Amino acid sequence: MIELKNIKKTYKTGALEYTALKNINLVVNQNDYIALMGTSGSGKSTLMNLLGALDTPTSGSYTLRGKSVDQLNLYSRT
Ligand SMILES: Nc1ncnc2c1ncn2[C@@H]1O[C@H](COP(=O)(O)OP(=O)(O)OP(=O)(O)O)[C@@H](O)[C@H]1O
Ligand SMILES: [Mg+2]
């Protein structure tokens, strides 16, 4: 249902760059029940923002129900 491949997220603040997610691969199938755990600053919210399509990854692919989230638009969302 959800498939992340080699997801990377780099935040750029002025001249500063910080890679919050590096090489994330994840598959979540229907009815899976998962927990996202990690220390403060490990990137949990960053990952959730990507999964909710509130933010976009710097690189890598996010496939939701077989469709690339990059290519979803308001009219094709079902
Ligand atoms: N908008 C942003 N601009 C720059 N850096 C950011 C931004 N959001 C998060 N970061 C940095 O990315 C890293 C991961 O942050 P994130 O908020 O995803 O962690 P978290 O696991 O949710 O932490 P917490 O448990 O404290 O909520 C941190 O080093 C944080 O400072
Ligand atoms: Mg958080």
pLDDT, tens digit (0-9, with 9 covering 90-100), for 27-69: 999 999 999 999 999 999 999 999 999 999 999 999 999 999 9
Taking residues 8-25, report their average pLDDT: 97
How far is Cα 59 from Cα 7, in angstroms, rounded to an integer? 6
pLDDT of residue 78: 53
Pocket of ligand 1 (CB under 6 A): 11, 13, 18, 20, 38, 40-46
Query: Going edge to edge, which strands form the sheet with 16-28?
Result: 16-28, 2-13, 59-64, 67-68
Give the residue with greater pLDDT, 76 vs 5: 5
Instruction: State how far the alpha carbon of 6 is from the alpha carbons of 12, 27, 70, in Å.
Output: 19, 12, 15
Query: Residue 75 above 80 pLDDT?
Result: no
The neighbour count for residue 27, using CB atoms within 10 Å, is 11
To test the pocket of ligand 1, the residue of 16, 42, 47 to mutate (highest count of ligand atoms within 8 Å of its CB) is 42
Q: Under 8 Å CB-to-CB from 49, ≥6 apart: which residues?
A: 55
